[in-house]
Chains A and B, each alone.
Chain A
């Protein structure tokens, strides 16, 4: 286990870059001018222009959270980032309208034809605007709205304005303020009362310009008794200088609604991925985040659920894999604000080579609440001597009729296990890969089938060369 891993991973899966003619490019750096430029191009209403400017002021006034977070954040040079870049085209409705070069990009990523048919709709974000948007007729007929955030803002202002920025206030943190100032792209989804969307809605997000920060904004509203599953997958081209990805995702589950939000994050190893994700669960509603982080240089992401209605439920299932030079700083936030609310957090992380995985958690149960329960489990697996893992939970559980438990453990793959497999003719590398897959297997099974297959493939890929 002393060998330094040689992580010459074949990243060709997401490693491509085609020249794109950037019709609309806000240039480098961030100022009021940049905001005006974005607003003009996107024809934003005045209240959004004001919202963005207010957010910019907040962003400028807030310090970096390095009093608790990684000092690697200090390496982000905000002046060198391109904050807005657009194809300048309206989201496409049919596949034929999608530009050829964009299609080539998708083919490199290998989105299979069958999968396209299986999935209800594909909202593919190419740079900051959705380049392709197609919702299956069936979903549309049910009254489901599945559009880009800009289109949602223009065409459905009555629903959009009611919830936008309400779950995650602009000043929640420095990066939610940044996103609020320059957001573009992302999805807006509304599920009418009682509608159960059978197929998952899926979006691919990608970065494809050097030094280009991507600031998508997603808002999902599931009206009373409705159900929806949303899937977000990320692969990014590799560049020489750092890029910044800072998304804000807000979920609103009204009475009895269920939202599942699934993410597989595989940004290239130079991306700062600083994301704020939070859901608001009303009475008897359920919000479940399934979050898998494999790529990026530094990810900071703590999906949260605010359970504000009786019997609401929140869940976070998290898998993190930190390879050489990577830091996966992930976790969960559970805020119980009503009686009989329950939450569950299961986090598993794997650190390889010099990789570092961190779990940060927050569990709050307010006083005078009854029958609230939280369960948290964090398991970390360390593969090499220089691998690192940290756990920083913060638990405030008040009220004598509530209960919570937190458990965490750290382990390495047992030598006996590997020896046993080697005895049976399995190579050491394959045995390690099997052991790691076994470690996360119970969580991976919670992903939809095609994602769990992809995930296993990604873990195998990351494990290549991690044993000498």
Chain B
């Protein structure tokens, strides 16, 4: 990589402007006064509320194993830029991005590109239940990644962001803000990783903004330790003829609450929302989604796949909302649960709210086991039952990864998945 830049992580600290720290004080008050959710709140139906007791978690210390984490921040073979953050602080940055592209820490963006920051930072509504935790995120935010791709600019190679947590009960507040100008295109892979196997708390926000004609592929590879409690609040806003493909791979986390809002605000816009969730042990993935069709002739396509083993638990609560003016909407939503154990607990709530008659809309939810015939077929060919089962799970998730256009990225994700399922 040419044009590599190193920044002093210490200098990046406490770089927030005063107006922002004032807003943080307000956010903290908001967090403290909002009630903890109960299952009576529709967005928390079926939810496990025990993980909402955050009293065990503490402020993260500066990372101890900086060099190791930077070395371990290896993803794709070829990238155009990389940002590594550990315990909310910048550890490493490298970039060979085209001119005009801004790829900075969030606090630098707040200072140097104040107008852009103010326009897009947490500007989307939080509608899926976690207002309280969005306030906590804002109050405690110290670092994050900011990407701005100007109009008519194509970033050929993917950009990678690594956000690490280290230490027992450490709290991190990852933030990724991506703004794509008109007719720009870019691919971003966001990794969330633990330096150890200890319990931790992550409360992150990812916001994606696509102007007219922009094209963004965003992949979140969530690989926290299995002792981690995590909130990931994602939002996407897609303008005229823009296309966003967002994939969330939940490989880690003990309790993960994910909220994904996609607003189709321009005619002809398209939003693809994908997720793959291999869960085992007592892990729990609680996902709430909203496909909000504001503009006419837009398309949204959601496909979430869960494979549940042991005593794991998933919740999928999705809603397609077609606003009165959104004629010519095409909206799809599907959740598939592959059940690998009698004790697994999948919950699906695929919802529709349609306020316009000119729509094509469908949703579906299926639950089913691995078929004995498939296993028998493999056993007959010398593949052991357990290995056969993992191959089936791999195939189940691969059917979704096929929808990622970028071949290098797709191959990379297939490898990560195979590693995660202990096949490779």
Contact = CB atoms under 8 A, between A and B. Distances in A.
Interface string A380-398: 1011111111111111111
Contact of B365 (A68, A386, A392, A395): A395
A430 interface: no
Contact of B347 (A380, A386, A394, A411): A394
B354 A67 contact: no
B355 A388 contact: yes
B386 interface: no
B242 interface: no
A101 B236 CA distance: 65
B367 A395 contact: yes
Interface in B350-383: 350-370
B349 interface: yes
B357 A398 contact: no
Contacts of A399: 339, 342
B324 interface: yes
Contact of A67 (B42, B46, B339, B350): B42
Interface in A360-407: 367-368, 380, 382-407
Given A398-B344, A399-B342, A408 B46 contact: no
A394 B351 CA distance: 9
Contact of A1 (B41, B357, B360): B357
Contact of B342 (A398, A404, A410): A398
A155 interface: no
The residue in A389, A397, A407 that gathers the most chain B C-beta atoms within 10 A of its C-beta is A397
B223 interface: no
Contacts, number: 125
User: Helix, strand, loop or mixed for chain A's interface?
Assistant: strand
B33 interface: no
User: Helix, strand, loop or mixed for chain B's interface?
Assistant: strand
B362 A390 contact: no
A412 B358 contact: yes
A391 B364 contact: no
A383 B356 CA distance: 9
Contacts of A368: 342
A388 B322 CA distance: 9
Contacts of A403: 366-369
Nearest to A396: B347
A404 B367 contact: yes
A332 B361 CA distance: 21
A385 B356 contact: yes
Nearest to A63: B40
A65 to B, nearest CB: 10
B341 interface: yes
B42 to A, nearest CB: 5
B306 to A, nearest CB: 12
A402 B340 CA distance: 11
A381 B152 CA distance: 42
Contacts of A68: 42
A390 B370 CA distance: 32
**Interface residues on chain A, size class:** 35 or more
A409 interface: yes
Contact of B345 (A67, A396, A407): A396
A400 B309 CA distance: 9
B185 interface: no
Contacts of A401: 342, 369
Contacts of B346: 396-398
B67 to A, nearest CB: 45
Contact of A390 (B337, B347, B353, B369): B353
A428 to B, nearest CB: 16
Nearest to A407: B364
B367 A402 contact: yes
Given A385-B357, A393-B351, A400-B341, A408 B367 contact: no
B351 A391 contact: yes
Interface string A134-158: 0000000000000000000000000
A403 B338 CA distance: 10
The residue in B40, B45, B342 that gathers the most chain A C-beta atoms within 10 A of its C-beta is B342
A346 to B, nearest CB: 15
Nearest to A364: B347
A384 B131 CA distance: 35
B355 A395 contact: no
Interface in A20-68: 67-68
B380 to A, nearest CB: 21
Interface residues of B, number: 40
A400 B393 CA distance: 14
A395 B362 contact: no
B222 interface: no
A380 to B, nearest CB: 7
Contact of B337 (A397, A408, A409): A397
A29 B364 CA distance: 45
A393 to B, nearest CB: 6
A408 B339 contact: no
A337 B357 CA distance: 39
Given A385-B356, A400-B340, A394 B366 contact: no
A399 B346 CA distance: 10
B32 interface: no
Given A391-B352, A393-B348, A409 B362 contact: yes
B279 to A, nearest CB: 14
A402 B357 CA distance: 36
B310 to A, nearest CB: 11
Nearest to A380: B354
A410 B359 contact: yes
A408 B318 CA distance: 13
Contacts of B341: 400
A324 B311 CA distance: 48
Nearest to B359: A410
B78 interface: no
B293 to A, nearest CB: 12
B343 interface: yes
Contacts of B340: 400
Given A390-B351, A397-B367, A407-B364, A412 B357 contact: yes
Interface in B299-352: 324, 327, 337, 339-352
Nearest to A381: B357
A406 B366 contact: yes
A382 B355 CA distance: 9
Interface of A: 1, 67-68, 367-368, 380, 382-412
13 contacts: A386-B324, A388-B355, A389-B353, A390-B352, A391-B350, A392-B349, A394-B45, A400-B340, A400-B342, A406-B363, A406-B364, A408-B364, A410-B352
Can you list the 7 inter-chain pairs with the closest CB atoms, starting with the nearest?
A: A382-B357, A391-B352, A397-B367, A410-B361, A400-B369, A395-B348, A406-B365
Interface of B: 40-42, 45-46, 324, 327, 337, 339-370
